[in-house]
Amino acid sequence: MRWAPHALVLEKSPRKPSLGATPEYLKGYYYIQGLASMLPAYALRPSSSDIVLDMAAAPGGKTTQLAQLMKNSGLIVAIEKRRDRMRSLMSNVNRMGVKNTVLLRAESSIVSKLDLKFSKIILDAPCSGEGLIAKDPSRRTKTTPEHLKRFQGIQINLLTHAIAALDEGGKLIYSTCSIAPEENEAVIDFAIENLGLKTLPLDLGVGNPGLREFRGVSFHSSIENCRRLYPHLHGTEGFFLCLLSR
């Protein structure tokens, strides 16, 4: 895949064994995830000298990809608050042979107590998952405006904590598997106007620009730097990402 150089696209697979039960999978030779989910790590471009924060790390796809791009050097602090999801994160980090990562089971607000500044931060925020309608058709109707408002509050809160931990000149990638502007452009617009962040261009080779307007609400012009992916246009899950700096 041209814009995901480490990806192999599986067009057809046998029923048995499943992709998650092969010896190669158990030995950590590959990780199963959607193509769009690989973009945040590529956009962040971490190096082996970076100190990276993964704020909502489970199940570990982005954490292990970051470790690969960093050549298992530098430092990744991966945070996950739920015990059940931490198990999957630990399993994948160990299975993939990751050695440069510290796992913390805690609320993301703990970053303000770590006395540590991060050069790169990845926030794959909790969201409604509207971009996964192709896989789960029930998402067409089960998400209400109240759900979007609640997720937006969570996303803004996480961004606020992330900024407090971001070093001067550092970069933060914000992403969701949602196509709802309420969880994407509206959150980035708030970050620009109220949190002092600015967007940076993304040269990913895929995706449409962020929306400048939605239902009569206008967003900051620089939100065009963000990228949207759609199943019918890009052959991926619905996805949004934006690269930010202080």
Model pTM? 0.94
Find all residues with CB under 8 Å of 153, minimum gap 6, and list them.
none
242 given a catalytic annotation: no
DSSP H helices, the chain, are 23-26, 39-44, 61-69, 83-95, 139-142, 145-165, 185-195, 231-234
DSSP three-state, residue 131: helix
Alpha-carbon distance values, 51 to 73, 90, 124, 131, 157 (Å): 10, 19, 17, 30, 22
Catalytic choice (127, 177, 226, 242): 177
pLDDT higher than 80, residue 166: yes
Domains of the chain, residue spans: 19-245
How does residue 135 score in pLDDT terms, banded at 50, 70 and 90? confident
Query: What digits encode the pLDDT tens for the residues 23-35?
Result: 999 999 999 999 9
3.30.360.10, 3.40.50.800, 3.40.50.150, 2.40.50.140: CATH of 19-245? 3.40.50.150
